[in-house]
Amino acid sequence: MEKVDKETVVSTAQDLQQADLLAEIVSGIEGIRALRRDIHAHPELCFEEVRTAERVAQQLAEWGITVHRGLGKTGVVGIINAGQSRRAIGLRADMDALPMQEQNRFSHASAYPGKMHACGHDGHIAMLLAAAEYLAKHRQFDGTVYLIFQPAEEGGGGADAMIKDGLFELFPMQAVYGMHNWPGLDVGKFAVSPGPVMAAFDTFRIVIRGKGCHAALPHLGLDPVPVAAQMILAFQTILTRSADPLDAGVLSVTTVHVGEAKNVIADNCELTGTLRTFSADLMRLIQQRMRQIAQHTCLAHGMDCDIEFTQGYPATVNHNQPVALSRQVMAAIVGEANVLEQAPVMGAEDFAFMLQKLPGSYCFIGNGAEEHRNSGHGAGPFTLHNGSYDFNDDILALGASYWVKLVEASLPT
């Protein structure tokens, strides 16, 4: 990218005044901030986003936006028309929280034990709502904007559920866009790139079938524990010796369940975990080799096993033209130096299902480091899926301004 003057560089919350934000959104951001914090205080899990969906639908209706509900069980779609064009785009925000305990102690901390907005979906909702209010009021575009408030991103596949319920048939659009906050990326910066940016993931479950006995008489049984240990270690050779070292993948055994008493050799041992790749071919290779290793390791010890794989999300793959448009809009807001290349990460994202159906782009918006945290925050690291995380309200107007300007660039009058 071309170099720009230092005056155009935005790296901290204080520097956001240099960004080309929409003044009307900035002046009304306190109301959106309050709404974001209310949603944060009332987190709801996959497909349980009843209160959240109600708040979203009510807010959209107050602004004169047509609302459709029920796709993917709790999904909400807002519809804003302007002009005569049949062109249309979709903007997506996810709504669900995580099943984890919040460590923060500020006034808008989760009111529900064991549930928390630890990934910033509350902020995603708020940014899209702020954009919706502006778009509904001004309608400085020619076509239709579909505001997609999606349930169940955190493992529930809510995007796929909305698609199967007819999202793209009921609301035909030519492109779809998503955005996620990213802790560690400076406030005032975006990141977006074509190609794979988030990994596919599948899960696995292996049950090793041994023969239980007294721990003092191991020769009378078949102990699944050393077999499990050998299997776990052997799995790690798949990526280092069977796969192309330039093809990224992660194989993680995350749980081992075995036994109930210290003096008993258990009958069975269960292993579970996840697989993450950018390549469907590598995913198939890993699963093939895992089956071979599991079955033959068990056979060598006189045992057998059951192994099953469950498909999760595909890889999130951005499309060239929508990415180019996103970068153009971002650069106009924060300067080209603040629009970064989006390094692929091994986390997964169900927006991938939408990108399999339509062209689109999925970007990161900088959530900062820890500059917005105060004494009410927990002591943990400022990362996603952490009990001390909180969305940075300083970026609400920036994200909303991006959504509005993306619509105006996509659907010019």
> Which residues are CB-contacts of 39 (< 8 A; sequence separation ≥ 6)?
52, 55, 117, 122, 125, 126
Other CB atoms within a 10 A radius of the CB of residue 287 amount to 17
Name residue, tokens 């996620």. 180
Length of the chain: 413
Other CB atoms within a 10 A radius of the CB of residue 413 amount to 11
E strand intervals along 151-262? 175-182, 190-191, 195-198, 200-209, 213-214, 249-258
Distance CA 80, CA 82 (A): 7
Q: What letter does residue 344 receive in the DSSP assignment?
A: -
Is the confidence at residue 1, as pLDDT, over 70?
A: no
Q: What letter does residue 370 receive in the DSSP assignment?
A: S
Q: Which of 47, 90, 51, 56 is nearest to 76 (CA)?
A: 56
Segment 360-371, tens digit of pLDDT: 999 999 999 877
Tokens found for residue 396:
């609400």
Provide the residue type at 173 as one letter.
Answer: M
Contact at 8 Å (CB) between 240 and 289? Answer: no
Please give the average per-residue pLDDT across 217-238, as a whole number: 98
Higher pLDDT, 200 or 379: 200
Contact at 8 Å (CB) between 323 and 317? Answer: no
- Please return the burial class of 310, using the count of CB atoms within 10 Å of its CB with bins 0-12, 13-18 and 19+: exposed
**Residue 393, Cα to own-chain centre: how many angstroms?**
19
Distance CA 123, CA 365 (A): 11
Higher pLDDT, 377 or 95: 95
Segment 294-347, tens digit of pLDDT: 999 999 999 999 999 999 999 999 999 999 999 999 999 999 999 999 999 999
Is the confidence at residue 5, as pLDDT, over 60?
A: no
Higher pLDDT, 13 or 125: 125
Q: What letter does residue 73 receive in the DSSP assignment?
A: T
Distance CA 372, CA 392 (A): 6
Residue 16 pLDDT: 77
Band of residue 9 on the pLDDT scale cut at 50, 70, 90: very low
Distance CA 374, CA 106 (A): 9
Task: Please provide the average confidence, as pLDDT, over all residues in the chain.
Answer: 95
Please give the average per-residue pLDDT across 200-220, as a whole number: 98
pTM for the whole structure: 0.92
Is the confidence at residue 18, as pLDDT, over 90?
A: no
Q: In sequence order, what DSSP letters do the residues of 170-198 get, joined into one string? A: HS--SEEEEEEEETTSPTT-EE--SEEEE
Residue 373 pLDDT: 77
The structural domains of the chain, ordered by start, are 6-198+316-410 (3.40.630.10), 200-313 (3.30.70.360)
> Which residues are CB-contacts of 62 (< 8 A; sequence separation ≥ 6)?
none
Share of the chain above pLDDT 90, in %: 92
Cα-Cα-Cα-Cα torsion 258, 263, 265, 266, nearest 10 degrees, comes to -40
Contact at 8 Å (CB) between 171 and 88? Answer: yes
Instruction: List, in sequence order, the alpha helices (H) in 307-346.
Output: 320-334
- Please return the burial class of 373, using the count of CB atoms within 10 Å of its CB with bins 0-12, 13-18 and 19+: middle
Segment 51-100, tens digit of pLDDT: 999 999 999 999 999 999 999 999 999 999 999 999 999 999 999 999 99
Is the confidence at residue 174, as pLDDT, over 90?
A: yes
Segment 339-363, tens digit of pLDDT: 999 999 999 999 999 999 999 999 9
Intra-chain end-to-end CA distance of the chain, in Å: 29
Segment 236-277, tens digit of pLDDT: 999 999 999 999 999 999 999 999 999 999 999 999 999 999
Distance CA 275, CA 249 (A): 7
HSE of 298, CA atoms in CB hemisphere, 13 A: 20
Residue 15 pLDDT: 59
